[in-house]
Amino acid sequence: MTARLPVIFIVGPTAVGKSAVAAALAEKINAEIISCDAMQVYREAGIVSDKPAPLLRARVAHHLIDVVSVKEEFSVARYRALAAAAVADIHARGKVPLITGGSGMYMMVLLDGIFEGAADPVVRAALETEDPAARYAELMRVDPAAAAMIKPGDTRRIVRALEVFRSTGVPISVQQKTRAGFWGQYDVRVFGLERPRAELYRRVEARVEDMFRAGLVAEVRFLLSLPLSSTGARIIGLPEIKGVLDGSYDVDRAKYLIKLHTRHYVKRQMTWFRKDKRVAWLMLGPQEAPGVTADRLVEKLKGS
């Protein structure tokens, strides 16, 4: 039986130190890095998305950074397709794909796949004109499993579920079980980096200060001058800086808000990652160098 090709993930919350650790590990195991970050795909968003430093990107090849403009829509499905192609390309050149980032949704669609299903604009248009109560009643009748997971007021998901059923005759809840991802296809290892919460928050605050010194306000002013796509407009930090630009409050208030909202984001990230029992966690020491963490990961990989 042929051994499955390796794919390694390094995930964790914002500011934990993933980029530096991933670069150090990549150099030790002949790997190339694939970004698993929903904001780093945008070319114009450099400071606000906290992309890996140029020095790291010069040391190790990085993929899926700067792939689209903030003026373009970018979906989870498109990310998955690009990441899958990058994995295949890296394997073909005899190297190891090392997927690194803090987007739990992106990690999930890579590990478990994504359901795209049938799309029929005519069916969808007809559904959108129907009575909401009747739509939900139909969903409960034809796909009770999906109805149990969708709130009656969630029009988008109800219409989507009925669109799939009417187009194919098969409930969306059944079709979703057939999706396939990297898990089972490759020899996947998923590592999560963590730090004590107080230390992590200190790192978050220091990062925010660094972003402002690097020119965050000017970058966001430029971004807001562009015709942002609906996905580009969701870049973290834009609303807080907009308040400075329109005179609602000063820079200190913006710093406070970004630090606060980033801490909340860290909590959401950890909640997401903690739910996935495939993640093997490493607690990092206060002064632990990235190379030391990489050595610890190498030992864990050898022991697998």
Alpha-carbon span 214 to 10, nearest angstrom: 26
Q: Which helix (H) or strand (E) holds 189?
A: strand 187-194
**Residue 304 pLDDT exceeds 80:** no
Q: Give the pLDDT confidence of 64-121 residue by residue, as tens digits.
A: 999 999 999 888 888 999 999 999 999 999 999 999 999 998 999 899 887 766 667 7
pLDDT at 118: 66
pLDDT at 291: 96
Name the residue with higher pLDDT: 243 or 167.
243
Residue 64 zone, left/alpha/beta (φ > 0; ψ -120 to 50; rest): left
Domain ranges of the chain: 6-114+180-302, 121-178
Inter-residue contact 18 to 33 (CB < 8 Å): no
Residue at 239: amino acid letter: P
Tokens at residue 115, please?
């359901």
Q: Give the pLDDT confidence of 170-224 residue by residue, as tens digits.
A: 888 887 776 779 998 999 999 999 999 999 999 999 999 999 999 999 999 999 9
Q: Which helix (H) or strand (E) holds 186?
A: none
Residue at 272: amino acid letter: W
pLDDT at 1: 43
pLDDT at 271: 92
Inter-residue contact 44 to 81 (CB < 8 Å): no
Inter-residue contact 11 to 194 (CB < 8 Å): no
**Residue 37 pLDDT exceeds 80:** yes
pLDDT at 2: 57
CATH homologous superfamily of 6-114+180-302 equals P-loop containing nucleotide triphosphate hydrolases (3.40.50.300)
Inter-residue contact 17 to 191 (CB < 8 Å): no
Q: Give the pLDDT confidence of 247-287 residue by residue, as tens digits.
A: 999 999 999 999 999 999 999 999 999 999 999 999 999 88
Taking residues 30-44, report their average pLDDT: 96
pTM exceeds 0.85, yes or no: no
Check: CATH 1.10.20.140 for 121-178?
Answer: yes
Helices marked H in the chain — which ranges? 18-29, 54-59, 76-92, 104-112, 121-128, 132-142, 144-149, 155-168, 172-175, 197-213, 216-224, 238-245, 251-275, 290-302
